[in-house]
Amino acid sequence: MADKRDYKSTMNLPGTEFPMRANLSAREPEWLKFWDEMDIYRLSLEANAGAEPFVLHDGPPYANGHIHMGTAYNKVLKDLIVKYKSMRGYYAPYVPGWDCHGQPIEHQVEKNLGPEKMAAIGQAKVRELCRDYALKFVDVQREEFKRLGVRGNWDDPYLTLKPAYEAGNVKIFKKMFLDGAIYKGAKPIHWCIRCHTALAEAEIEYGDETSDSIYVAFRFTDATPWDAEGAVSVLIWTTTPWTLPANVAVTLAGEADYVGVKLADGRVLVMAEALVEEVAVAAGWDAYEVVGPRVKGSALSGVHYAQPVHEGVQGVIITGDHVELSTGTGAVHTAPGHGEEDYLVGRTFGLPTSMPVLDDGTFDVGGGPFVGLSVWDANPKIIEWLRERGTLVAATKISHSYPHCWRCKQPVIFRATEQWFVSMERTGLRENAMRAIGEVQWIPGWSVNRISAMVGDRPDWCISRQRAWGVPVPVFTCSKCGETVATAKTFDAVIALFETEGADAWFTRQPHEYLPADTVCPRCAAGVDDLKPEDDIVDVWWESGVSHTSVLEARDELNRPAELYLEGSDQHRGWFQSSLLTSVGAYGVAPFKSVLTHGFIVDGDGRKMSKSLGNTISPLDVIADSGADIVRLWVASADYGQDVNVSSEILDRTAEAYRRIRNTFRFLLSNLADFDPSMSVAWDDMPELDRFALVQLADLTDRVTASYDEWKFHQVFHAVHGYCVTELSSFYLDVVKDRLYADGADSRARRSAQTVLAKVLLTLVRLIAPVLTFTTEEVWQFMPAALSAGVPSVQLAGWPCTDVPRAEADELREAYGVVLEVREGATKSLEAARTAGLVGKSQEARLIVHAPADVCATLEARGAVALAEMFIVADVSLSPARGDFSVEVGRTDGEKCPRCWNWRELTADGLCQRCSGVVAELH
């Protein structure tokens, strides 16, 4: 009998140059060059010129340091969306941006220079160094983002330090200032005494801190209902002894009951009745007596007491809604210069905002005996001082959550300073922003609650910063009378100045050089020479927030509002909110139609990545080791609705999934070398199995497209990976191998399978192209030219469509649902038969399927030959039976065909009938 080797030349052996080994880290840079040379970004826009736009507006990363897993994740997600939309035919420009101003860069420059040099050089020089620093990291990150395969206008990104961008800040400031939304006020704000600056809420980190916890008696100087019992004081509790010099009032809950507590030494302390027992425990009182009368807090309103630090000064009892009866004494020490609630209640009662603490955290003369001390050093001294005077009732320590500066990590204080604010109320900004939030699509859906709560609760927005590296608050102060000078004309002059020379000019030019000559102070009529430009700069969140104007509005290819903003969920406090508030403030509408937020990157155990834990993974290392497509596949595979895990195990699994997908592409390519679309077999002429394969492909396409449309990329990944493994590798490709290799090269059966393979290839490569941007390009370039049809890049290939006849598809799904179920049972039975030594290969087996009549009928309708092909056995027979189906395995009576290794009845020439015919035709 002839050996199979003799028939090798008669078989259609697969072949492709497409490499099995991906070697992505070496090959990806070649594809980057390929795209660069064809100018893929421009081509992708030109291809969809005039089509419906889809603008994903890039949130600017900070131009500092290298990219990390979080920034890589964010940029790749954006790229998936932009490429998908572009392939769907949308005009989808992507203009990347960078946030170039702000304290971290200034801080770094300061560190590099050292404090002496920093003090010696002027603001203009500092700004120059900051600019160099920022631009250096724009270049670094640009190369790193490009290496990830992210497509965009890298040659002309937006930078917040560009003159036109800087001018946009003034345009929005002008509108909101002239509307009355921006005001200057003294207000307690988070203040870092180390960095000498106000901090925004987004610049605050909360962490545990041990603080003093003291109870202090403030002696009444007016008559009280308890005077008959002894010397009466009101008892307060505080964790910030250093704020006592600024005390002006004690706030009680108006409707709560207050009583006197008589101590063993005869002193009477007034506090909320509900808290007496708790205070007694905290203060360690052995014996005390509650003495009458019981009065409402409101009954004590207006009663005076001796200020605890300043001799001869009185404070006053007031009432407020913020007094809690869960901790403390129900009598709240109130210093409007040092707390938000204190400030608000103080404003209601017309109290002064006493502020004895300087920029550096030391007391001025308002600190009384503690003048010159820093607030932290003053704490123990104040406690000791109170103890000596007999007004300290108890002192302990507590550990609690306390705000810290995001840069220097030091605890911050609340301190009233002159600042510029955006009012949430004066022009109805809060109300309008809440309405705008309701008009935006928030993804995931729950994130609308987060942004609503944040905007609903937030205090007025403090937008001034006492720093050098940024865009100035674009107003002037009259040096004669202190009036703020800011009119439509001065703003327009500043806009023109910034557009031509950038914001640097603010610090190098004199106002008379660029303001209209007739500019005067509205209060004292002083002229332009007496106007002083504001020293403060605006909050960087304001700056990045106005990108809707400086970028979306300014660039021809973009539009405002954008279709989508996409950032990490921390941006509900940051960029989403500053963009929303400036846009609603200036235009009355949100700058985005939808907002997608993703979780943070954490390690395999859900821990935050940190150098100290040693669990950080750099995307640059992953690219160097495995390739950017592995990073991209990991991005797609993760559910961004929660925190996103990454670890080397997760990346290994990702690489394994990648190999399955790559091998599928390789199989498809290797069987299409001799195929041309003109050889395609029509639907009606195809074997049924091939038609079903096309139904499965259509179902995949619908599923994947729907998942992209819902931005559910992990479903895209699972659908494509699952399809490669299950539908293709374990079924269709497994079955049609025989036809592809052994049928006549130009036979209808083989051309039909190739028709399916070509359709699968052209579909699959495009479905996963937004994710595996490098690999799909490689596939595209290795495809027979007739299939890629002159389209120079997969990115320009458009989106696959599904076109199977609906009614027939339904029938096939139902019938093959049965086939696949029985096939799974058969596989198990065959496995058992192999283990028992009954058969070697499945081709030697004959199956008897015992199954209910309807199952038998469905199987029979496929035809005996098709059944044997699909089960990859010699023969399948059917036997009607009750109950569940079972598959019986036996040995075939046939013989092994030496050409195709199927077991069949052999013909006179020793081959199976099919092979006999094929070989005969070759001679």
List residues near Zn ion by CB under 5 A.
192, 194-195, 405, 407-408, 478, 480-481, 483, 521, 523-524, 526, 897, 899-900, 912, 915
Cα(634)–Cα(642) distance, integer angstroms: 15
Shortest Å distance, C-beta 161 to Zn ion: 23
Nearer to Zn ion, 360 or 810 (CB): 360
User: Do 666 and 30 contact (CB within 8 A), yes or no?
Assistant: no
In the numeric block, which tokens belong to residue 417?
């300073």
Identify the residue whose tokens are 């572009």. 86
Cα(513)–Cα(515) distance, integer angstroms: 6
Nearer to Zn ion, 195 or 753 (CB): 195
- The helix/strand/coil state of 182 is strand
Nearer to Zn ion, 107 or 666 (CB): 107
H or E element at residue 383: helix 375-388
User: Do 78 and 150 contact (CB within 8 A), yes or no?
Assistant: yes
| Side chain identity at residue 72, one-letter code | A
Nearer to Zn ion, 524 or 865 (CB): 524
Shortest Å distance, C-beta 412 to Zn ion: 7
Shortest Å distance, C-beta 4 to Zn ion: 10
Among candidates 430, 76, 382, which has minimal Cα distance to 244?
382
Pairing of strands 197-198, 562-568: unpaired
Shortest Å distance, C-beta 916 to Zn ion: 8
Nearer to Zn ion, 424 or 485 (CB): 485
Shortest Å distance, C-beta 911 to Zn ion: 6
Nearer to Zn ion, 481 or 789 (CB): 481
Nearer to Zn ion, 277 or 909 (CB): 909
Angle, CA of 905, 909 and 910, to the nearest 5°? 45
Among candidates 439, 506, 432, which has minimal Cα distance to 473?
506
Shortest Å distance, C-beta 359 to Zn ion: 12
Cα(500)–Cα(517) distance, integer angstroms: 19
For residues 382-414, b (16+ Cβ closer than 10 Å) or e, as one string?
bbebbeeeebbbbbeeeeeebbbbbbeeebbbb
Shortest Å distance, C-beta 524 to Zn ion: 3
- The helix/strand/coil state of 5 is helix
In the numeric block, which tokens belong to residue 165?
């961008």
Nearer to Zn ion, 205 or 808 (CB): 205
Shortest Å distance, C-beta 409 to Zn ion: 7
Cα(793)–Cα(39) distance, integer angstroms: 11
Cα(581)–Cα(589) distance, integer angstroms: 9
Concatenating the DSSP letter of every residue in 462-494 gives E-EES-SSS-B---EEETTT--EE--HHHHHHH
Nearer to Zn ion, 192 or 440 (CB): 192
Write the CB contacts of 614 (distance below 8 Å, at least 6 apart in sequence): none
Shortest Å distance, C-beta 919 to Zn ion: 9
Concatenating the DSSP letter of every residue in 51-117 gives SPB--EEPPPPBSSS---HHHHHHHHHHHHHHHHHHHTT-B-----EEB--SHHHHHHHHHHH-HHH
Nearer to Zn ion, 191 or 218 (CB): 191
Shortest Å distance, C-beta 526 to Zn ion: 5
Query: Which residues lie across from 404 on neighbouring strands?
Result: 205, 411
Shortest Å distance, C-beta 125 to Zn ion: 23
Nearer to Zn ion, 400 or 523 (CB): 523
Nearer to Zn ion, 704 or 740 (CB): 740
Query: Which residues lie across from 197 on neighbouring strands?
Result: 192
User: Do 421 and 198 contact (CB within 8 A), yes or no?
Assistant: no
Nearer to Zn ion, 358 or 394 (CB): 358
H helical segments located in 627-772: 628-637, 648-670, 688-709, 713-722, 733-742, 748-767
Shortest Å distance, C-beta 479 to Zn ion: 8
Nearer to Zn ion, 695 or 911 (CB): 911
Cα(588)–Cα(330) distance, integer angstroms: 43
Shortest Å distance, C-beta 402 to Zn ion: 14
Shortest Å distance, C-beta 791 to Zn ion: 39
- CB count, 10 Å around CB of 366? 17
Cα(707)–Cα(693) distance, integer angstroms: 21
Shortest Å distance, C-beta 608 to Zn ion: 21
Identify the burial level of 468 via C-beta atoms within 10 angstroms of its C-beta, where 0-12 means exposed, 13-18 middle and 19 or more buried. Answer: buried
Among candidates 788, 800, 551, 798, which has minimal Cα distance to 51?
798
Nearer to Zn ion, 548 or 896 (CB): 896
Nearer to Zn ion, 148 or 906 (CB): 906
- CB count, 10 Å around CB of 866? 17
Concatenating the DSSP letter of every residue in 273-286 gives GGGHHHHHHHHT-S
Shortest Å distance, C-beta 193 to Zn ion: 8
Cα(804)–Cα(801) distance, integer angstroms: 10
Nearer to Zn ion, 497 or 912 (CB): 912
Shortest Å distance, C-beta 912 to Zn ion: 4
In this structure, what DSSP letter does residue 38 have? H
User: Do 421 and 184 contact (CB within 8 A), yes or no?
Assistant: yes
